[in-house]
Each structure stands twice: as structure tokens, then as C-alpha cells.
Structure 1
Amino acid sequence: MVETVERTDLHTLPLAPKNPLPYRQQLKAVRSFHSGLETLRDAGGPVTRLTLAPKWLAPTVVIATSPQGARDILGRGGGHIEKTRVHAEMRHLLGPNLFDLTHEPWLPRRRALQPMFTKQHVREFAGHMAEAAQTVADTWTDGAEVDLDTECRKLTLRALGRSVLGIDLDAHAEVIAEPLHVTTEYITDRAMRPINAPRWLPTPARRRARTASATLHRLADDILQECRADPTREAPLVHALIAASDPATGQTLSDNEIRDELIAFMLAGHDTTATTLAYAMWALGHHIDMQDKVRAEALAVGDHELTPDDVPALRYTVQVLHEALRLCPPGAATARMAMQDVEVDGYRVEAGTMLVVGIYALHRDPALWDHPLDFDPDRFSPRNSEGRDRWQYLPFGAGPRSCIGDHFAMLEATLALATVVRCTEIRSKNPDFPIITPFTTVAAEPIRATVTARGGRRR
């Protein structure tokens, strides 16, 4: 866990420089969490300041797209830097969870849940990951055109349900997908507006969001109660949440807290991994030589269903996923609030400022990466990774509040990608992979590809 040491002479540091773009361009750019932050970086440098409204209406915004800036923002522990308005909106609608809690209640929750998500423990969650990928690939007609985005969402939903929740989520696809979309859209919309209607006012959007939240909570409660009624039910994440306790106090989670964490896990574990897989498959569909390397690697481990024991032999597959995560990170940006004056990459940032780490812009910065727009998995080989700044590659965030599910996500994606590619050749039809960032990074349109059966386990 990294924590930045605060300088004692903060008052001697200059404020972050104002961004020179005209106001309308700044406003347009800040609403685009991916390419817009690149625009602001190119105009104002790796640390730049925006004043979009009077302070009583909206906070000053400082955007950092440098490794040191990211470290100074995300590496701090304690309550110096807190979660932002979007997290408050999420807490209010979906409930307090590990993603949106403020520091004081977050700390015991993180202590309780951390043992569940170590690299060794998440192997227990892998029971049906490869099987889910295989069953999706088996539905593809030889020579058919598919939408990689839709298929990868189907795959991750199936893996999430069968591997960790003990439920067939195929039958609940609409119950999950639409409510998640409605709630995240509502949360983001409220967080981005300087002025909102009060929460007690029953607007149409609020009614839809509350209905969607209630639907998700009912599903989470059904899953939890079924696992309580049947301790032998194969649902490792749910049973782990039931058994979890804070090692410092022995306090276990209430049913409400477990339900809130299940919803957060469904939110974080569905769109994000699906988009990463879709991007990786799309890229391999344009680089058949790379696809052949993934296939050869997957075939070399044998004709059995892939398991976590095979992952050490899938090194190039992991490199492909790292490159997909670099070019299409699940969180294009992450935000915090400065609760006191802090230093960010040599500049003083005043208390009350919103701090934004532009991860997408950081990952594509030509000052940090050679040929940054090229898809090149070899940049993540052990040799080429030597000496790289830890803080220039942040697909799962970093610091004390980094994504707790990073090992799970990588295990799921590795087994799924290797399983699909060893039995299918993918030829991408879309020349590019357009993205939007309504909450997490997702495909902006269908990602078309032609799939052809190859060797491997596909029958």
C-alpha cells in the first residue's frame, strides 16, 4: 500500500496552471472521460486546472495525467483525499459498498473483504469460467458474423453467475443489464450536473432509478437467502461474504451490507471484463499473427478445459489482455476530492478541489509510450516492462483504494480469451473500436466479427 508523504512547505508551491482552452471546449472535454482528457492534457500539460463555475456551485477541477500526479492523488491513505459526488450518488441509490464508501467506514470493510480477493483465493471462484466461454463459443455458427460486445457480455454474465453467485444469470440477463444501465446513467447524470432536483422530488428519472435499484436488491437478496438456506450451494463469493469478518474487530457483514456488495460486484464484474475481452478479440481479429500466438499457447497446455493451473503457461495471452486494458481501460478516469491542501506533481492543490486522474490519457501519452496507439502486446513482456513507472499503467487504479477484484478479473479474462481463441478464428470487420464512458468504458456500437471454427475443444 503506497502513501504519499505530504510536504511541509505546500504554501511555496505554485497552483496548477489554468488550462488555456476556451471555456466551451473545456466544458465539452471534461464531459468526455477518455478522449476529452487527452485534449485537456495536450493543451494544458500533465497537470492542469479548470474553473467551470463559481466555487459555491461546482468545485475547481485539477486533472493529472502524469505518473507522479497519479501517485500523489491515488497513493494517499487516510482521509486527506476522499470519494466524490458520483460516489455519494451511488451510495444513496445502490447502498454503501467498497467502491463508494468514505474512508472511515471503508477501512473495516476493506479489511474484511481483502482476504477473499487474494491471488490464491480467487482461484476458488474459477470453477465455471472456461466452461462459460466454451458454451458461448459453441453457439457460434461456423462462418457467422457476431457482435463481440454482445457475446462477451453474455460470456461474463454466465461466468459471474455460475462461478461466484451460484445462479444461472442467463435467465436473469434483462433483470441485471437494464437496471444496471438505468442506475449508472442516473448516478452519472446527477454527479455531472452542478444543480439537481432534491432527492425527495419524484421525477420520472428518479422513479426509474429507484425501481431499478429495488430490482437489483431483490435479486441480490434472493441469491443471499438461497445460499443461507443451502450452505452447500456452489456460490463461493456469497459464502465468502457471509463468512467475512473484520480481523481487527471480528465484526461480520449484515445482510444489507452483503446485498450492497453483491450489487457492486455485479456492476464492476460485468461491463468491465466484457469490454476488455471484446477489445482484445477485436484487436486479435486485426492481428492474425498475434491471434495465432494466443491459439498456439492455449493448445500447448492440452485439450482439457482450462483452469487456473494453466495460467502460468498463458503468458502471451496475459500480455494481450494487458495491452487491451492499456488502450481501453475499464475506468477511463477516476476522481477524488482534496479534503486539505495537497501536492500534485509539484503543484499545490487547494482543499475542496476535485482531483481527476486521466487514466485513458495516461495510457496513451506519447511521452510515456512508444507508438502509443499501436496494439503491441510485446510491450508487456518481462523484458520490455523492466524499468516502467508503476504509475503509468493503472487499469485497476492504484494505491489503498485500488480495485479489489483485479486478480479475479485477470483470471476470468485470461481463461475466457484463451478458451475462445483456441477453438475459433476471429476476423474483425470494424476498422476501429469506438467507446463511450457513461460510467465505465463500454463499446459505443456493435463490434462485428466473422468467426470460424478451428482446432481445440469446440465441437
Structure 2
Amino acid sequence: MKDLADTPFIPVRAELHREPLSILGTLRAARGNLLAIIPWNATRQPMVTGKTGLRWHMVMSPKALRRVLRDRVEDYPKSTVTHRILGPGIGESLFLAEGAHWRWQRRTAAPVFSHRNLADLAPVMQEAARASLARLERAAGPGGATADLYDEMVAVTFDIICNVTLAGGGQIDRAHVHDTINGYIRRVGRVSLLDIVGAPAWAPRPGALMGRRVVGSLHEVADRVVRERLAAPSDTPDLLGMLMDSADPDSGRRMNPQELRDNLLAFIVAGHETTALALAWALYLLGHDQAAQERARAEAMALEGDLPGPQDLDALPFTRAVVEETMRLYPPAAFLSRTARAEDRLCGRVITPGDTVMLPIYALHRHHMLWEEPDAFRPERFLGPRPERFSYLPFGDGPRICIGAGFAMMEAQIVLAALLRRFRFEADGPDPVPRLFITLRPEGGVKLRVRPI
């Protein structure tokens, strides 16, 4: 086995622009791949400022990010573009709500994601992993075959989130929901010229009307599920039931049907694709780095029992490091943005109300002042001391850190270890293209040779 510190694998990366972009150039870049609006020097400077109709700042300094995400979080709400894109789909759910409305929802939902409840949900993850193994065994046959692991990871994580959200998953048409989500992203999830020049959110954007029609059918499905559950509660614990039973510990307030609907959809949308992306990119990386794959496999093979479970997570340190390094190189939420509400100063520059403050997580995770060999795949960097806080933000940080981070990490480790116990993955086909709209997807899929062990 080669030393992982020697000649590390340099995986595919996005091309960042070196020359300033015009307004139209920014539009073309953003509509093709949002990563393309990140300048090359964003991986070498603490902050980059520019103007394309509206004034913007890209922030890569951990100290400044701490200020935005923790110290003055109320002064940096989710950007108007974020609300414009996601609001029609998930409303004022926990993901988008601000201020007091966000705080009471967070207090209400927090117990749902407690360590005890996560352990109770592990069997759902194991059963979905078992079904994924069976599908791959049929596809690979005894001699192995090429498969698109991105498609398979979307399938397994969608099974998990549907069964976790709605016990049994039978009350929801998964194919319809998944197709509707993708259709909405294609129509509404792209930046428009009006966004770039800072036009108000009420100004009509191309595709917005059609996008609302698409998401209307998704709302109908979720509304029906909530109505049926309110009329006939289930004895089987699931996320929707936990949200229905939970109340704000301070006020006693409970979520109304629309709030349940919006949060249900937010968890389904965010809870499957982000983990699917982390797993798909991890398999791409391991398919090109056989030494790392063998090291992770050795951990998985040493486990007892049929499938990995929550009791095994401490015995999978390298597997966890692979997942963390994957999310460093390909963070599912690779680009966040805020709209400044009050005057401030970041990295010595004045921030005025209305400025767009961008958090290019992709550039932060590949910053040459923060990471050694930032473009290299080196899982062992997560086996020692933790990275400087606010230099690694796959789940955000501060009070609005992703509420499902523990769930996602447990899910990713269980599924990845289960796959490595049964199959060997080898590079076979062109590299996927990292392309960002709302999430960082592998365009072209993750084509790997899958060989039974």
C-alpha cells in the first residue's frame, strides 16, 4: 500500500476565472456553473470585493466568517436571491426563516435530531443500504460492470429520507417528488440578470412562474400527507410525527399545517441530495485512489455483523475522514450568500446595508493560506487536530449550523462502509464536471467499475 502522503491524487476541479467579469459575463458564468463566478484569487486572499450593479464581497477569512455566521448573524440574513429561489418551494421553514420565527422552529426541531433519536433511525439507513447493495449486485453481476454511482446514491439517500420522514415511505410518490424537485431546480435555481443587478425580488424572473406551477404539485402531495397524519397519527416514529409532537420549550407553540408542510419538504430536499452528493463524490475519489479505498475497506471489513450501525462509527475513523475530505473538496452546499442588514467592517472593508456577502465555501476549502496541498485528496488531514474553526464549513457554523449534520454523517458512514464491504470501485470513464446551481453536482455522473469482492 502506498503512503497516502506521497503523490496524492489531484481530482477534477472547477476552473476559476482570472480576468474580471462584466455583468453579462457574470450572468453567462452563473447560469452555466455558479462556481465560474469565483475569481482565482479567492483561493489566495481573505476577501474579494466587486460590483455588478450591486456591491458584493466574497469572504474567505475564518475571522470574518465567524463574524458573519456567529457574532453578528442577525445582521447577515439569507440573501434575497436565496429567498427568491427557495422560498416558493420550502416557504418560511427552518432553512429560510429569520429572527424569532427561525428561533422557535429551531428550538422545536432540535430534540428530533438528538443523539438518541438518530440511533433509533439507524435501522432505516441499514435497510436502504441493503437494498442498494442488492441493486448493485444485480447490475454488476459476478464479473463486474460499470455503473453510475451518482444515480445509485441519490436512490439510496432518497429511500432513507422518505422512510425517516414518513414511516414506511408509502404515503409519498418518490419518483414524482424527485422529478418535481429536479424540475424546480432547472427552472428556478439559476441566477438571472435581475439578480445580478440587484433588482427587487418582486420583479418577475424567467422561469419563476413555471417553477411555481411545478412546485404547486409538490405542495399538494405534502399537504395531503400532513392532513392525513393529523387526522390519523402513526404509532411508528418518524420525523413528521416528531415535529407534530414537538413544541417550543419556551412558548409551547406547535407547528401549524403549513409550517409542517414547509419543513417536511425542506428536510426531504436538503436531507437526501446533499448526502447523496457527498457519497457519490467520495466514491469517485476512492475509485481513483485505490490505497485510500483499501484502507477504508479494511476498517469496514473488521466490523462485526451484517451491516455497519451507529455502534460502529467510532471504529471507522478513516471512513469518516474520507467523507470529511470529500466535503472539503466538493462541499454539497458550495456557495452561500447573505444580504447585509447593517453597516459593518470585514477584513478592513466597509460593508453597507444591502451589500451581498458571499461565502464561497468551495474557495474557502481550497484556500492556499488555510490548507496544505488544497487541491489534493488527503483524507489523513482529518485524522489529526481539527481544522481551524470557520475554515471548514460543509454544514455551516454558528447558531444556524445544519440541524441534520449528525444525521448526514451517520448516514454517509453507514452507507459507505456497507458498500466497501461488498464491492471494489475502479475508475472507468471521464471525470465528472463539478457544476453548481443550488448544490454541487457531478455533471456526467460518477461512472465507476463495480466489482464484487
Q: Tell me which interval the TM-score lies in, with the shorter structure as reference length.
A: 0.7 to 0.9
Look up the match of 2:173: 172
Select the residue among 257, 260, 275 that pairs with 2:259.
257
Q: Note closer, same or farther for the CA distance 1:435–1:132 as it changes in structure 2 (3 Å cut).
A: same
Query: How far 1:443 sits from its partner (Å)?
Result: 1.4
Range that drifts further, 230-239 or 121-130: 230-239
Look up the match of 1:211: 213
Q: Give secondary structure in 2 for the equivalent of 1:393.
A: coil
Look up the match of 2:402: 403
Query: How far 1:432 sits from its partner (Å)?
Result: 3.0
Query: How far 1:223 sits from its partner (Å)?
Result: 3.1
Look up the match of 1:433: 432
Look up the match of 1:231: 233
Select the residue among 71, 74, 87 that pairs with 1:76.
71
Q: Give secondary structure in 2 for the equivalent of 1:426.
A: strand
Q: Note closer, same or farther for the CA distance 1:22–1:280 as it changes in structure 2 (3 Å cut).
A: closer
Counterparts of 1:54-453 in structure 2 under 5 Å? 59-77=54-72, 79-89=74-84, 90-140=86-136, 141-142=140-141, 143-168=144-169, 172-189=173-190, 193-194=194-195, 205-381=207-383, 383=384, 385-386=385-386, 388-453=387-452
The one-letter code of the counterpart of 2:410 is L
Range that drifts further, 27-36 or 440-449: 27-36
Look up the match of 2:20: 21
Query: How far 1:305 sits from its partner (Å)?
Result: 2.5
Q: Note closer, same or farther for the CA distance 1:220–1:327 as it changes in structure 2 (3 Å cut).
A: same
Deviation track 1:314-369 (CA, whole Å, cap 9, x = no partner) reads: 11111110011000001111111111111213322112111011110010112211
Q: Note closer, same or farther for the CA distance 1:93–1:272 as it changes in structure 2 (3 Å cut).
A: closer
Q: Note closer, same or farther for the CA distance 1:311–1:169 as it changes in structure 2 (3 Å cut).
A: farther
Aligned residues: 426
User: Partners in 2 of 1:404 and 1:191 — Cα distance?
Assistant: 30
The one-letter code of the counterpart of 1:448 is K
5+ unaligned residues in a row in structure 2: which ranges? Answer: 1-17
User: Partners in 2 of 1:299 and 1:335 — Cα distance?
Assistant: 42
The one-letter code of the counterpart of 1:300 is A
Q: Give secondary structure in 2 for the equivalent of 1:145.
A: strand
Deviation track 1:25-51 (CA, whole Å, cap 9, x = no partner) reads: 6666666443532525158x3211111
Q: Is the 8 A contact 1:429 1:448 kept in 2?
A: yes
5+ unaligned residues in a row in structure 1: which ranges? Answer: 1-18, 54-58, 455-459
User: Partners in 2 of 1:435 and 1:136 — Cα distance?
Assistant: 24
Query: How far 1:397 sits from its partner (Å)?
Result: 0.7
**TM-score, length of structure 2 as denominator length:** 0.87
Deviation track 1:271-306 (CA, whole Å, cap 9, x = no partner) reads: 111111000011111112221222221121213222
Q: Note closer, same or farther for the CA distance 1:206–1:371 as it changes in structure 2 (3 Å cut).
A: closer
Q: Is the 8 A contact 2:27 2:191 kept in 1?
A: no
Deviation track 1:129-187 (CA, whole Å, cap 9, x = no partner) reads: 12212211212223121101101101111111223322437983331122112323444
The one-letter code of the counterpart of 1:113 is A
Q: Note closer, same or farther for the CA distance 1:167–1:38 as it changes in structure 2 (3 Å cut).
A: farther
The one-letter code of the counterpart of 1:410 is M
User: Partners in 1 of 2:21 and 2:163 — Cα distance?
Assistant: 51
Q: Is the 8 A contact 2:227 2:257 kept in 1?
A: no
Look up the match of 1:48: 48
Q: Is the 8 A contact 2:188 2:207 kept in 1?
A: no
Deviation track 1:243-265 (CA, whole Å, cap 9, x = no partner) reads: 12111100000111001001111
Q: Is the 8 A contact 1:157 1:169 kept in 2?
A: no
Q: Is the 8 A contact 2:157 2:275 kept in 1?
A: yes
Q: Note closer, same or farther for the CA distance 1:197–1:370 as it changes in structure 2 (3 Å cut).
A: closer
Look up the match of 2:7: none
User: Partners in 2 of 1:158 and 1:150 — Cα distance?
Assistant: 12
The one-letter code of the counterpart of 1:37 is I
Alignment RMSD, CA only? 2.6
Q: Is the 8 A contact 1:148 1:278 kept in 2?
A: yes
Q: Note closer, same or farther for the CA distance 1:314–1:354 as it changes in structure 2 (3 Å cut).
A: same
The one-letter code of the counterpart of 2:94 is L
Q: Is the 8 A contact 1:73 1:357 kept in 2?
A: no
**TM-score, length of structure 1 as denominator length:** 0.85
Q: Note closer, same or farther for the CA distance 1:369–1:137 as it changes in structure 2 (3 Å cut).
A: same
The one-letter code of the counterpart of 2:51 is T
Q: Is the 8 A contact 2:318 2:379 kept in 1?
A: yes
Q: Is the 8 A contact 2:172 2:225 kept in 1?
A: no
Q: Note closer, same or farther for the CA distance 1:262–1:133 as it changes in structure 2 (3 Å cut).
A: same
Q: Is the 8 A contact 1:424 1:453 kept in 2?
A: yes
